[in-house]
Structure 1
Amino acid sequence: MTYSSRPPGAEPPPAHEPPPNGAVPDGPIPNGTVSNGAVSNGAVSNGTVSNGAVPPAPRSPGTAAMAPPAPGTAPGTAPGGAPGTASPGQKQRPRKPRDPFFDNAKYFAILLVVAGHAIANVRSDVPVAKALYLFIYMFHMPLFIVITGYLSRNWTFSSGKARKLITHVGVPYVVFEVAYELYTWHGSGELTISLLKPYWLMWFMCALFLWRLSTPVWQQIRWPLGVALLFSLLSYMSDLGGTFNIHRVLGLLPLYVLGLTLKPEHFELLKKPIARPIGAAVLAGGLATAYVAKDHMTEAWIFWKTPYEDLHVSNVTGTVMTLAMFVCATVLVAAFLAIVPRGRHWFSALGATTLYTYLLHGFVIRLIDYLDWWEFSWMHTVPGTIILLGGSAVLGTVLCSPPVVRCMSWAIEPKMTWAFTSLRRPAGRAGPGKAAPRAAERQAR
C-alpha cells in the first residue's frame, strides 16, 4: 500500500522543495512507501537511514545548514548564556516575580548597617548611642547573611550563576577594595593594597564569594548546620590570622547555612498576625538588654572576628558565649523579619539594590573622619545621635536609588560579556549538540 502526503491528482512538488506539512506524516512510520522520501521497510531515500530513523527535512538550494548548538548552550540562548530568541516551538519560561518581603527586609537591614557606622564614633560619649550600637550589631549582619543564604538555595556552578558570582561579587570586591585603599591613602597618607586582607566593610564581599562557592557542598551534607556550627566554634580556638578575614568567614558560616536550610513555610510562620506584636516585643526587650549589657560586655564579641585567646577567655567559656551569640542573633533576626512589611511599597524596589548602599556609604563615613567632623560637640549628644540616625536613613536610601544605580552599575554590576567564553568541556566528551548526529550515524551504518 502506498501512502502519499498530497491529494490525488495533485502535481508532485519540485524535488528541491520539502513536501507540504513535512516529509513524514504524523504518527509512526508504516512499512510502506512514502512519496518524496520513499520508505520501504524503514529505508528512507535521499538520505537512507535504517531502522526507521527519520532524516532531517531537505532544505532549499542556497539555504545554509544550521549548525548544532554549542556545548553548554540551550536552544533560544545566545552564545555565552545571554538571552536570545526562542525557537518557534519553544515556550519561554515565565519570569518569577520578586517577593517584596525580602526586598523590604534588605532595605531596612541596609539602613541598620549605615546607622551602625554613623553612630560608631559617638557611642563612647552617648550611652543611648552605645546601647543602640550594640543592639544593631547583634543582628544586622546576621540578618543579611541569613537572607543571602536563603536566596542562594538554588545556586550551582552553572555558567550563568558562576559568571554572576564573578561579576557581581568578585569584581566589585577587587574594584572597591582598591578604591577604598586609594581613598584612605588620600585621606591619611598611607597606601597599603592587599586583596588578601579585606578593608573594613569589604570583608562581607570576600565572605560572600567563599560562601557561595561552598553552597553545593552544604547541599550534599546530611547535617549541614551542625557541621557549619562545628567549624565556627573550632575556628575561634586558634588564631587563624587576618587573611580573607577568615574568622568572620568561618565564624558566621552557620548563619549562611541556616539560610540555605530554610524553606518558604518557615517564613510564612513569621507572616502570621500574631508574629508581629511578638517580634516587636522581642526587639524592644533586646534593646533594653543591650542598654543594660553595654557596660558589662566586651564589644569585640559582636564583631565575630577575634579568637578566644585575644578575648582572654578559655575555649569552654568562649564556646558557650559564641553559642549564646548565635541564639540571640537568630532570635533577633526572626523578630525583625516578623515586623517587616509584607506588601509592595515605594521602598521595595530599593531593596533589590542594597549592595550599592553597602559599597558606597563607606566613602561618606570615611570623609567625615578625614574632615574631623566628629569633633563637633553637638554630635556627641542625644539630639546629635538622632540627627545622625536620620541622616544615615537618607544616605542609605539615596545610595540605592535608580540614579545612583545607573551611575555606578559599571563597577557594581558590570556585564563583562567580553571576559567569558562558551562553557568548556573536557576533551573526548561530546556536548549535547554532537550526541544526536553521532547516534544517527551509528544507526545508518
Structure 2
Amino acid sequence: MTSPRLATAVPAAAPAASAPPAAKKRDAYFDNAKFVTAVLVVLGHVWAEFGDSHAVDAAYKAVYAFHMPVFVFITGYFSRSLMRNPQKFRTMLPTLVVPYLIFIVLYRGQIVLLLGKPFDLNEFLMPHFLMWFLVAMVCWRLSAPLWDHLRHPVAVAVVGSLLSGMWIFGEEPTMSRMAGLLPFFVLGLMIEPERLQVLRRPAARWAGAAVLVAAVPAIYVWESGLLGVPGINMDLLWWNSSYRDMGYSALVGMGGRAAAMLLAVILGAAFLAVIPRRHTWFTEMGTRTMYVYLLHGLVVKTFDYTGVLAEPVLHTPLGIVGVTLASVALALLLSTGAVQRVTRPAIEPKARWLLKPQHGRGT
C-alpha cells in the first residue's frame, strides 16, 4: 500500500522537498463488480414479490445463492487497511453509523405512514429490511484486526458460521446474517490480490459464463420436482435463521449451510470471472453503490406497501419483463451523479465534527 522511498541526494543544509502523494488509482474491475452486484440486489428485492412465476423464482434463487456473499467478500477486500491502520476506524461513524440512523428513520417511517402501523419507539432503531447490512459492516470491520492474528482465519470463520446456526436469534435476523456470512468477509479481508488474477484469465471467463448460464435452468429443474429432491430452503440462502427455525437438526443444518457456502463460492467465482476488467460505461457508477443500496429499498418498499407490485398485470410474462427492466433502470438512475449530489447529505453526511481532531495528522 505504501510506496518505497526514493533516496535523493541533497545538501545537508537543505531539507528535501516532499512531493505530494499520488492519488491512488481505482481498480475498474472492482467498481464494475460492485455496480453489477448492486443491480442484482435491486433485482432480487423486486423478484421476491414474483415467486408465483417459476422462471422468476429460479432466477431469484440463483441470484440469492451468490450476490450477497460476493457483496460481503468485496466489503472485506476493501476493509484490509483496517488491519494495519487503526485510524481508518474513524470513518465508520460518519460513513456507516450516521447514515444508518438517518435511513432507519426513513424505513420505519414508511411502515407508520404507508401501512398505518402504530409508532413503536422500542422497535424504531431495530434493523429493518436491508438496514441489517450497515450494522453487519460495522461489526465485521471492528473485528478486522483480530483475523490478522489467526493462523487460519478463514477456516475459523467457517467453523464459527456453521456453529452459529445452532444459536437461536429469535425475531432479529441481523445477528444470524452477520455470523452466517462472516466467512466471505474474512475471505475478502485475507485473500492476496494475486490470488484473484486467476479469475481474470480468458479461460476463467468462459468457464464462469457457462456456470452462470447453467445455474438458472438447473435450479428451475431442481425446483420443478422432476428430480425427486427437496426444494431449496431459502432460509439457507437468506442466512437469517437458526437450524431449529428451519426445522433441521444441528448436523443437517450445518450440512445445508456448508452446501450454501460452497454454492456461493462456485457461483461467486463464476460471477467475478465474467466481470469486465477495463473501464466501462458503468465503472464510475460502481463508486456509488451505497446510493443504490440505501435508496432503492425506499422505492421498492413504497411499491410493495401500496400494493403496486401485487397488481395482476405485473405478474404476466410481459409485466415481469417490464418490472425487470424497470428495476435495472432504477439501479442506473440511483447510481448517477445527479442523484448523488441531491442525496449526499443523507448518505455521505458531513459528520466528521463528531470526531476528535487529529493533531498533526490528516483526517
Report the TM-score when normalising by structure 2.
Answer: 0.89
- In the alignment, the residues of structure 1 paired with residue 305 and residue 277 of structure 2 have an alpha-carbon distance, to the nearest angstrom, of 40
- In the alignment, the residues of structure 1 paired with residue 110 and residue 72 of structure 2 have an alpha-carbon distance, to the nearest angstrom, of 27
Change (3 A) 1:196 1:180: closer
Q: How does 1:6-155 map to 2 (within 5 A)?
A: 89-123=17-51, 125-155=52-82
Following superposition, the deviation at residue 160 of structure 1 comes to 4.8
Residues 40-76 of structure 1: CA deviation (Å, up to 9, x unaligned): xxxxxxxxxxxxxxxxx9xxxxxxxxxxxxxxxxxxx
Following superposition, the deviation at residue 363 of structure 1 comes to 1.1
More helix by share: 2
Following superposition, the deviation at residue 98 of structure 1 comes to 0.2
SS in 2 for 1:250: helix
Q: Tell me which amino acid in the other structure corresponds to 1:119.
A: W
> Structure 1: which 5+ residue stretches go unaligned?
1-25, 29-56, 58-86, 425-430, 433-445
Change (3 A) 1:196 1:366: closer
Asked if structure 1 preserves the Cα contact closer than 8 Å seen for 2:29 and 2:277, the reply is yes
In the other structure, the counterpart of 2:180 is 251
Matched, 1:231 2:160: yes
In the other structure, the counterpart of 1:416 is 351
SS in 2 for 1:421: coil
Following superposition, the deviation at residue 298 of structure 1 comes to 2.1
In the other structure, the counterpart of 2:92 is 165
In the other structure, the counterpart of 2:245 is 310
Q: Tell me which amino acid in the other structure corresponds to 2:209.
A: A
- In the alignment, the residues of structure 2 paired with residue 300 and residue 312 of structure 1 have an alpha-carbon distance, to the nearest angstrom, of 11
Residues 85-142 of structure 1: CA deviation (Å, up to 9, x unaligned): xx9822221111100000000111111010111121111x211011111111111111
In the other structure, the counterpart of 1:217 is 146
Q: How does 1:304-343 map to 2 (within 5 A)?
A: 304-343=239-278
Following superposition, the deviation at residue 286 of structure 1 comes to 1.7
Q: Tell me which amino acid in the other structure corresponds to 1:185.
A: V
- Stretch deviating more after TM superposition (190-199 or 313-322): 190-199
- In the alignment, the residues of structure 1 paired with residue 310 and residue 177 of structure 2 have an alpha-carbon distance, to the nearest angstrom, of 31
Q: How does 1:375-386 map to 2 (within 5 A)?
A: 375-386=310-321
Asked if structure 1 preserves the Cα contact closer than 8 Å seen for 2:147 and 2:153, the reply is yes
In the other structure, the counterpart of 2:4 is none
Q: Tell me which amino acid in the other structure corresponds to 2:241.
A: T
Matched, 1:369 2:296: no
Query: Which structure has the larger Rg?
Result: 1
Following superposition, the deviation at residue 293 of structure 1 comes to 2.9
- In the alignment, the residues of structure 1 paired with residue 173 and residue 44 of structure 2 have an alpha-carbon distance, to the nearest angstrom, of 23
Asked if structure 1 preserves the Cα contact closer than 8 Å seen for 2:153 and 2:186, the reply is yes
Following superposition, the deviation at residue 371 of structure 1 comes to 2.5
Q: Tell me which amino acid in the other structure corresponds to 2:41.
A: V
In the other structure, the counterpart of 2:232 is 297
Matched, 1:186 2:121: no
- In the alignment, the residues of structure 2 paired with residue 95 and residue 242 of structure 1 have an alpha-carbon distance, to the nearest angstrom, of 45
In the other structure, the counterpart of 2:8 is none
- In the alignment, the residues of structure 1 paired with residue 169 and residue 310 of structure 2 have an alpha-carbon distance, to the nearest angstrom, of 36
Following superposition, the deviation at residue 27 of structure 1 comes to 5.4
In the other structure, the counterpart of 2:191 is 262
- In the alignment, the residues of structure 2 paired with residue 351 and residue 290 of structure 1 have an alpha-carbon distance, to the nearest angstrom, of 29
Change (3 A) 1:377 1:268: same
- In the alignment, the residues of structure 2 paired with residue 355 and residue 88 of structure 1 have an alpha-carbon distance, to the nearest angstrom, of 41
* Count of residue pairs the alignment pairs up: 343
- % identical equivalent positions: 37
SS in 1 for 2:170: coil
Following superposition, the deviation at residue 158 of structure 1 comes to 4.8
Q: Tell me which amino acid in the other structure corresponds to 1:361.
A: H
SS in 1 for 2:80: coil
Residues 374-409 of structure 1: CA deviation (Å, up to 9, x unaligned): 332221122221111110100001111101111111
- In the alignment, the residues of structure 2 paired with residue 160 and residue 232 of structure 1 have an alpha-carbon distance, to the nearest angstrom, of 29
Change (3 A) 1:126 1:422: same
SS in 1 for 2:66: helix
Residues 340-361 of structure 1: CA deviation (Å, up to 9, x unaligned): 1111012100001111010000
Residues 140-190 of structure 1: CA deviation (Å, up to 9, x unaligned): 111101111111111258575222111111111111111100121101112
Following superposition, the deviation at residue 311 of structure 1 comes to 1.0
- In the alignment, the residues of structure 2 paired with residue 215 and residue 122 of structure 1 have an alpha-carbon distance, to the nearest angstrom, of 38
Higher RCO (CA-CA < 8 Å; seq separation 6+): 2
Report the TM-score when normalising by structure 1.
Answer: 0.73
